[in-house]
Structure 1
Amino acid sequence: MSPRPPLPPFTEQTARQKVQAAEDAWNTRDPERVALAYTQDTRWRNRDVFLRGRPQVVEFLRAKWERELDYRLRKELWAWTADRISVRFEYEWHDAGGAWWRSYGNEQWEFAADGLMRRRYASINDVRIAAGDLRLPGHDHGRPTS
């Protein structure tokens, strides 16, 4: 696979670019596209789920977005080093019963020299919200836009 810029070592500017690229990709809700940002043998912890490899990531994301409907995400750079980035994030979604949620969390990322993420560790908490409390772009007063 070809390199995925920006590449480490990161500066503040390139770390911000990497975070924005991740936010943009995740908001597509396309598991195959999102998985291309990770190494073939990537290692993940997402809440209490441990994954290894792109195929498991794709399967996980497919199930996630079947459950978390009208998902909208915002990520924010928290800190960075030469090959690591830490972000805080929040996302909004609703379940099949129509209940809306806002999920808050932190992720720790580690990158390979080619710019692919080899490790992603996420801690996430969910808070139930009223549809009128939605605040992320892409939601229209609790009515899904997609």
Structure 2
Amino acid sequence: MDTVDHEESVVNARPPFPPFTAESAVQKVRAAENAWNKQDPEAVSLAYTPDTYWRNRDTFVTGRAGVVEFLTQKWARELDYRLIKELWAFTGDRIAVRFVYECRDAAGQWYRSHGNENWEFDEYGLMRVRRASINDQRIDAADRLFHWDAPGPRPDDHPGLTELGL
């Protein structure tokens, strides 16, 4: 990491920091969920290292500018987006999550997308690597399960994935 990247990482540090505990891993997952639900690509990108590497389905993204471009395009086509993440496993500087999000396309078709992510963090709590595998399921609007004002974080009293049977 060069001096500029190091300084950016220090300025943008995101606790909790590795090594993760059960409690700090859950906090990290919820913080990521909340950030993505706000749908602000610039703000979300700051939780990643300047040279972050992503695989999202069949798309590969490098660096914060790539994250901003990817998320801007994603949320332009995935309308009324709502996401729930749940901790699956953790160790040291890595966290595995499962997630589900609901959104609709411009034609009004709703989807429920199920996925898994593997995350790796640097010492400043910034995500260095994100690998996501995702499957989409068409649903009727009446079958939606995620109901809160979007964009915005999931309310604390809204059920999570386990409680919803997902």
Tell me if TM exceeds 0.5. Answer: yes
CA distance in 1, matches of 2:147, 2:66: 29
Give deviations 1:98-146, integer Å, cap 9, x for gaps.
000000000000000010000000000000000001101326xxxxx66
Alignment of 1:80-99 (within 5 A): 80-99=90-109
> Which residue is equivalent to 1:131?
141
Letter matched to residue 81 of structure 1: T
TM-score (norm. length: structure 2): 0.83
**2:88 maps to 1:78:** yes
The CA distance in 2 between the partners of 1:111 and 1:137, in whole Å, is 31
Q: Specify the SS of the correspondent of 2:16.
A: coil
Alignment of 1:1-146 (within 5 A): 1=8, 2=11, 3-138=13-148
TM-score if structure 1 supplies the norm length? 0.94
Tell me, in whole angstroms, the C-alpha distance in 1 between the residues paired with 2:84 and 2:48: 19
**The structure with more strand, counted as a fraction of residues:** 1
Aligned length: 141
Higher mean C-alpha deviation, range 130-139 or range 116-125 = 130-139
| Matches of 2:56 and 2:64, distance apart in 1 | 14
SS in 1 for 2:66: helix
In structure 1, distance between residues paired with 2:105 and 2:88: 29
Q: Which ranges of structure 2 fall in alignment gaps of 5 or more residues?
A: 1-7, 152-166
Q: Identity over the aligned pairs, expressed in percent?
A: 63
**Segments of 4+ moved more than 4 angstroms:** none
Query: Partner amino acid for 1:37?
Result: A
Separation (CA, whole Å) in 2 of partners of 1:99 and 1:116: 35
3-state SS of 1:27 partner: helix
